């Protein structure tokens, strides 16, 4: 059996096209899965699996999870082009969401056998990293029953608003996709969709809640460090 490896390669990809980042994720994901299959079939010659954490921002793009409904995209392709936005059906869980400038998108590509092989706990850990981050800015985030992600005022249905969406894919305990955290995001783009399938909930951002833009690099460090601590990642 290969030894557990909690070391994680961290990369900030800056602003990157969604499809380019997706292809890169798939490459890393498949490499880890292939190593696990090899280890299982060759117990005499096993090797540890790698782990990766990617941060980035995307140009305006909408993505629809495999169980989502296209009815939650409220405009047609021509209108999307006019907004300089693209659209992809992808292989994560969850419904439709938006990615764009001013949003930290995190893609942990981890072999959870190196940490804790529990998908529900893994999602909760991502949520907790955002909850702890926004708490450093005086914002109180929480979870809403039956809905992943991080919410403000989750216990007040008429006021609940989402600051971070989460949607993942996993196979053989290897993860990809991840979270989209609204820092200085242009929230008008959420008006073109029913975010995460909700028709009665709004999106928010740190900038909207605080009344000022927040330095992206500063927030990235906080999210990265909280995530590493909670999951047990060893970063370079």
Which residue stretches of the chain have pLDDT < 50?
A: none
Predicted local distance difference test score (pLDDT) of residue 230: 98
> Of residues 196, 206, 219, 231, which has the active-site annotation?
196
Q: How many CB atoms lie within 10 A of CB 5?
A: 16
Predicted local distance difference test score (pLDDT) of residue 76: 81
Predicted local distance difference test score (pLDDT) of residue 199: 55
The pTM of this model reads 0.94
Q: Quick one: fold of 52-231?
A: BirA Bifunctional Protein; domain 2 (3.30.930)
Predicted local distance difference test score (pLDDT) of residue 79: 83
| Pair 166, 223: CB distance under 8 Å | no
Predicted local distance difference test score (pLDDT) of residue 25: 97
Predicted local distance difference test score (pLDDT) of residue 128: 98
Predicted local distance difference test score (pLDDT) of residue 212: 98
| Pair 235, 224: CB distance under 8 Å | yes
Active site residue 196: yes
Predicted local distance difference test score (pLDDT) of residue 196: 61
- CA-to-CA distance for 70 and 9, rounded, in angstroms? 35
């Amino acid at each position: 059996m290969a030894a557990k490896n909690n070391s994680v390669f961290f990369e900030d990809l800056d602003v990157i096209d969604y499809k380019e980042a997706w292809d890169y994720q798939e490459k890393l994901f498949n490499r880890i899965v292939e190593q696990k299959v090899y280890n299982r079939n060759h117990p005499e010659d096993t090797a540890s699996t790698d782990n990766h954490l990617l941060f980035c921002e995307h140009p305006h793009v909408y993505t629809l999870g495999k169980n989502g409904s296209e009815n939650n995209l409220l405009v047609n392709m021509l209108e999307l082009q006019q907004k300089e936005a693209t659209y992809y059906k992808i292989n994560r869980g969850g419904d439709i969401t938006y990615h764009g400038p001013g949003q930290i998108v995190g893609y942990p590509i981890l072999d959870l056998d190196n940490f804790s092989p529990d998908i529900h706990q893994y999602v909760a850990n991502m949520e907790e990293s955002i909850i702890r981050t926004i708490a450093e800015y005086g914002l109180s985030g929480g979870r809403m029953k039956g809905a992943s992600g991080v919410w403000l005022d989750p216990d007040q249905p008429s006021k609940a608003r989402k600051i971070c969406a989460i949607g993942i894919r996993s196979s053989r305990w290897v993860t990809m996709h991840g979270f989209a955290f609204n820092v200085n995001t242009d929230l008008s783009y959420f008006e073109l969709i029913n975010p995460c399938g909700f028709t009665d909930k709004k999106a928010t951002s740190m900038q909207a809640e605080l009344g000022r833009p927040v330095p992206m690099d500063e927030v990235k460090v906080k999210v990265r460090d909280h995530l590493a601590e909670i999951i047990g990642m060893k970063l370079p």
